[in-house]
């Protein structure tokens, strides 16, 4: 696999051309923070593009035609081109092709920039529309961090601390993977979410009315991981019961509501990018030792 490593004063990050995926994130002592794609879930931090979650029946309707676009889109399984590879940053690009247009009938350019700055990794998504019609798209991050953060710490000793109180109801996925219209009481206690596996028994936790733009993942005696974001409006939290990871996922857009069956461009939560324009979304991962 074609990989590139960038090194900052407090972090070392390794990125793969396949999926433009972050596959290692080590702190200043060399301790790995990311889940290492073990059998329970063979990914590290996939990129979600051009959709987040699922479409109803995996069908994308546009201009009288229907194509099949599966969960989270194709970027995570696509090989990106290296645009820049430096000692502290790198840039990768994915562009539309005959293969992508067969499932997603739009012109696009999707670039991902990774840059280290002291103890922080900045990740910027640039979504550009080189076509002649509006580009509807979603994008999201899906990094899986170790849970427990360090060997010997109990899983239920971990917690999330949000920057602001999060009293609003959360959303869940139904058995078909689509968005349940029901709001569920928030498990966040003020700013704190105590982490236990049973939270994820039903599905991912979707915070679609987040007051915060950052959250800290904490445990006694372990580094603190802070995830912050700009341009993303939803936050997903997910783990696979029994596995040793926790995903903290800033999103722009989410899975289709169970009752939505219209044209793709009308799907709630999409970026709608006019011809010749682009949008930037950024999230940051900071490791505080």
pLDDT > 70? residue 280: yes
pLDDT at position 1 is 63
Q: What is the pLDDT of residues 140-161, one digit of tens each?
A: 999 999 999 999 999 999 999 9
pLDDT > 70? residue 276: yes
Give CA–CA dist 82/85, Å, rounded: 7
pLDDT > 70? residue 245: yes
Domain residue spans in the chain?
A: 3-288
pLDDT > 70? residue 218: yes
**Among 25, 37, 13, 47, which Cα is nearest to 223's?**
25
Give CA–CA dist 226/285, Å, rounded: 6
Enter the pTM of the model: 0.96
The architecture of the domain spanning 3-288 is: Distorted Sandwich (2.70)
Average pLDDT of the chain? 97
Q: What is the pLDDT of residues 176-213, one digit of tens each?
A: 999 998 899 999 999 999 999 999 998 999 999 999 99
CB-based contacts of 155, cutoff 8 Å, min separation 6: 147, 148, 195, 196, 197, 244
Q: What is the pLDDT of residues 31-83, one digit of tens each?
A: 999 999 999 999 999 999 999 999 999 999 999 999 999 999 999 999 999 99
How does DSSP assign 58-117, residue by residue?
GEEEETTEEEE--TT-SGGGSBPEEEEE-SSEEEEEEE--HHHHTTS-S--EEEEEEEEE
Q: What is the DSSP letter of 248?
A: E
Asked if 136 and 24 touch (Cβ cutoff 8 Å), the reply is no
What share of the chain in percent tops pLDDT 90?
97
pLDDT at position 143 is 98
Report the chain's terminal Cα–Cα distance, integer Å: 30
Q: What is the pLDDT of residues 70-109, one digit of tens each?
A: 999 999 999 999 999 999 999 999 999 999 999 999 999 9
């Amino acid at each position: 696999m074609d990989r590139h490593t960038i090194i900052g004063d407090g972090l070392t990050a390794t990125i793969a051309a396949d999926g433009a995926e972050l596959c290692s994130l080590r702190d200043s002592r060399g301790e790995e923070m990311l889940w290492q794609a073990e059998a329970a879930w063979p990914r590290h931090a996939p990129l979600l593009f051009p959709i987040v979650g699922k479409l109803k029946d995996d069908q994308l309707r546009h201009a009288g035609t229907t194509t099949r676009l599966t969960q989270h889109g194709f970027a995570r399984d696509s090989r990106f081109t290296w645009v820049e590879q430096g000692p502290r940053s790198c840039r990768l690009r994915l562009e539309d092709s005959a293969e992508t247009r067969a499932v997603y009938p739009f012109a696009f350019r999707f670039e991902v920039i990774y840059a280290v700055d002291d103890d922080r990794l900045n990740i910027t998504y640039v979504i550009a529309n080189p076509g002649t019609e509006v580009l509807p798209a979603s994008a999201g991050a899906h990094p899986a961090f170790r849970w427990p953060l360090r060997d010997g710490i109990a899983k239920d000793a971990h917690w999330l601390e949000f920057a602001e109180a999060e009293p609003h109801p959360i959303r869940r996925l139904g058995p078909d993977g689509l968005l349940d219209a029901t709001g569920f009481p928030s498990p966040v206690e003020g700013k704190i979410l105590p982490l236990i596996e049973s939270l994820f028994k039903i599905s991912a936790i979707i915070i679609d009315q987040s007051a915060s733009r950052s959250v800290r993942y904490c445990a006694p005696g372990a580094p603190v991981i802070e995830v912050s974001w700009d341009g993303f409006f939803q936050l997903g939290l997910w783990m696979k019961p029994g596995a040793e990871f926790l995903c903290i996922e800033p999103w722009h857009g989410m899975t289709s509501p169970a009752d939505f069956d219209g044209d793709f461009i009308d799907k709630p939560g999409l970026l709608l990018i006019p011809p010749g324009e682009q949008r930037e979304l950024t999230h940051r991962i900071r490791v505080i030792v």
